[in-house]
Structure 1
Amino acid sequence: MTLAPYVAILGRGQGRARSLTMDEARAAMKIILSGEGAPEAIGAILMLLRMKGEVAEEIAGFTAAARAALPVWHGARPAVDWPSYAAGRTRGQPWFLAAARLVAQAGHPVLLHGWNSHQATGASVRVALGDVGIAQVGWDAAPAELAQSGIAYVPLEKMHPRLMDLLRLRDTFGLRSCINTVLRMLNPAIAPVALQGVFHPSYRELQRDAAALLGQPTLRVLKGGGGEFEHHPAKDMTLHGLNRGDLWEGPTGAPMTGHHRLSDTESTLSDVWNGVVQDDFATAIITSTAALALAALGVADAGCRAQTLWQSRLHPRAA
């Protein structure tokens, strides 16, 4: 198998090149993941797509092939897919992890998966998982962890090493590729609700349209903190997504006023979660993000529900 036909489609030159169809993109990604594609051709495809700008059919086709290459999921499906693939070099604490924990404590199992380039810093997503009681597990162990605790984080390299290799090509190119978007779209356990963060607003519609092609029932895409699904509580932003497969838009609301950056607070996730410090801004980030997730799940009065979950977070049975 060769990637040459797909390179030719994308690179024929001005007036002759075109985008890949969904089927062509699926076939190309299948070759890439099989290990049979020449590395030069893989680089050519990824950079030609970047220069052209990806379309929904290409992202959907790549995602479909990546899903098909994953090991079988053995267990009940999570209610929520929550990817975490932002670079995060300038972000503060990963408050969204606490929001995901609240959603799980409300009885909606959450599967987190990802990779982040800031693993050595104090704000590392993986370092912070333990601060809110989220286990980092392998793919095979994730269904049991979801059944036991309602939430789990699976590192990308334990889910599909070849996808990790493709993501790491960013170090070779010096540029991101569409693989970053594909991983956000992956929804490896086919959860009915998918929550996706983006850094650049234009990707909201791209990911929504690709999700529609993939048959995703419910989706919310947010231009969030550091590119994660994390809401700034003083900003009323537009969410893009799907409801029962239909295109949908809606406001986030803004439960706080004032001018803040997400990285302004010096509080740590552990201290805020455990009640060691009272940080109203950090708490609002967590509860407003949780409220958006709960609303996507169809929870009535999601904002009040998020507040109740927060107040009882250390004694979840009281919620």
Structure 2
Amino acid sequence: MVKEYLKKISEGKHLIFDEAKEIVLSIDREEITEAQLGAVLLGLRLKGENPEEIAGFVDVLHEKAKKIPNRTPAVDVCGTGGDKSNTFNISTAVAFTLASLGVRVAKHGNRAMSSKAGSIDVIEALGFKCSDNPEEIARDIDEKGIGIIFAPYFHPVVGKAVKVRRELGIGTIFNMAGPMLNPANLSGQILGVYSEKVMRNMAEASLILKKDNILFYHGKDDGIDEISLSGKTIFAYLKNGKIDYFDFSPEDIGIKRYQKEEFKGGDAQENAKILEDIFKGVAKESHIDIVAVNSAFALWVLGKVKSVKEGFDMVKDHIMKGKVYEFVDTLRGRMA
């Protein structure tokens, strides 16, 4: 069966949904050899992964994941990575900011793959530990406002492909599937993507899977997988069974533009210091503004504010008063 799919891919043809699912099931059953898996992943990348293939991978990988049984639906804020911009961990800052505002957050993340510091690296540098216990993380979400989900603990099938992915050394369909695999009970998601084409494919894959309330975005002018303050950001918003495409520029809500270099980060310790300064409200205005605008879009997706401008003003005031740091510092004591 795998050889048939390999032949199809080698001819530049797309797999259908069920064929993509069968590839993942063969990984789970350990029926596919490393050489075959490497060929499949490289072949998909060379011809370009389409929405049905992404949806097939996500469907099985999510089904096989260990689930987080949180009672209160939560929001996830994450990105694909791979934009080679080396920004500080904006989505991680947004996750804690939202939690400090009373929004339940299920932060799904991993260690660094293509950057100097992944979300989990920075979260640990901030003084938090990652549990592999689903019930404990569910309690964190329900009772403390935020749960940290270290992806490798919850996706055993993905783990079976790690060696091949590492040896290939390139982005594969797993990089697109990963951010779509949060195992918690979600009410919404904002998801940054490293390219416009991939963003559209991921949105269409989510539509196939009948997912809802996901805001995908890509910084068109600077290429980052965040909502940008250096230029235009394009969006694909999946809601009520349809995808709406629109764009946003900082001027739309009266924010000035900043140079892309303003948002450069470093290693985990350096980025943790940047986040601490943001949480205290003493960071550069550019850093506070980009966290506030990304947080504002999440609040808008969740229906907590009527406009992004309203959300931005509220979040920025909350940050400047040091409220995020108060929350994070108290949380450290409760989750140590």
Q: Which TM-score tier does this pair reach, normalised by the shorter chain?
A: 0.7 to 0.9
Residue identity in the other structure for 1:297: L
User: Which one of 249, 252, 255 corresponds to residue 253 of structure 1?
Assistant: 249
In the other structure, the counterpart of 1:240 is 236
Aligned match of 1:4: 3
Tell me the residue number matched to 2:298: 293
Matches within 5 A, 1:95-244: 95-117=90-112, 121=116, 123-130=117-124, 135-140=129-134, 141-223=136-218, 230-244=226-240
CA distance in 2, matches of 1:212, 1:99: 25
Q: In 1, are the aligned partners of 2:78 and 2:191 still within 8 Å (CA)?
A: yes
- Deviation of 1:26 (Å): 1.3
Paired residue type of 1:188: P
Show the counterpart of 1:302. Answer: 311
Q: What is the Cα-based RMSD across aligned positions, in Å?
A: 3.0
**Does structure 1 retain, via aligned residues, the 8 Å contact 2:79–2:91?**
no
Residue 59 (structure 1) aligned to one of 46, 54, 60: 54
CA contact (8 A) 1:113 1:155 kept: yes
Instruction: Write the distance in 2 (CA, Å) between the matches of 1:124 and 1:238.
Output: 24
Aligned equivalents of 1:3 and 1:63: distance in 2? 18
Cross-structure match for 1:314: 325
User: Structure 2: how far apart are the matches of 1:189 and 1:64?
Assistant: 15
Q: For residues 159 and 271 of structure 1, what CA distance do their matches in structure 2 show?
A: 28
Q: Which runs of 4+ in 1 moved over 6 A?
A: 225-228, 264-267
Tell me how far apart the structure 2 counterparts of residues 302 and 32 of structure 1 sit (CA, whole Å).
43
SS of the aligned residue for 1:27 comes to: helix
Separation in 2, partners of 1:172, 1:290:
36
In the other structure, the counterpart of 2:333 is: none
Structure 2 distance, partners of 1:245, 1:139, is 33
Deviation at 1:131, TM superposition (A): 6.3
Matched letter for residue 286 of structure 1:
V
- Which deviates the most, 212-221 or 17-26? 17-26
Q: Is the 8 A contact 1:132 1:273 kept in 2?
A: no
| Cα deviation digits, residues 175-219 of structure 1 (max 9, x gap) | 221111011222322523122111122111011100111111111
Long gaps (5+) in structure 2: 328-336
Taking a change above 3 Å as real, the CA distance of residues 104 and 258 of structure 1, as seen in their structure-2 partners, is closer
Counterpart in 1 of 2:264? Answer: 263
Partner of 1:208: helix, strand, or coil?
helix
Distance 1:163 1:228 in 2: 25
Measured in 1, the distance between the counterparts of 2:163 and 2:82 equals 12
CA distance in 1, matches of 2:260, 2:13: 43
Residue type at the aligned position of 1:213: I
Whole-angstrom CA distance in 1 between matches of 2:265 and 2:110:
24
Q: 1:227 to 1:164 in 2, by over 3 A?
A: farther
| C-alpha spacing 1:108/1:210, structure 2 compared with 1 (3 Å) | same
TM-aligned CA distance change 1:237 to 1:270, over 3 Å: closer
SS of the residue 1:281 aligns to: helix
Aligned mates of 2:174, 2:114 — CA distance in 1 = 19
CA distance in 2, matches of 1:88, 1:204: 12
Q: How many residues matched?
A: 311
Structure-2 separation of matches of 1:102 and 1:33: 37
1:6 corresponds to which letter in structure 2? Y
2:264 maps to a residue whose letter is: S
Q: Compared with structure 1, are the counterparts of its residues 158 and 198 closer, same or farther at alpha carbon in structure 2 (3 Å cutoff)?
A: same
Deviates more, 1:212-221 or 1:78-87: 78-87
Identical columns (%):
20
- Give 1:292 shift: 1.4
The structure with the largest helix share of the pair is 2
TM-score (norm 1): 0.85
2:316 and 2:196 mapped to 1: Cα distance? 28
CA contact (8 A) 1:82 1:112 kept: yes
**Is this contact kept in 2: 1:196–1:228, CA < 8 A?**
no
CA contact (8 A) 2:89 2:265 kept: no
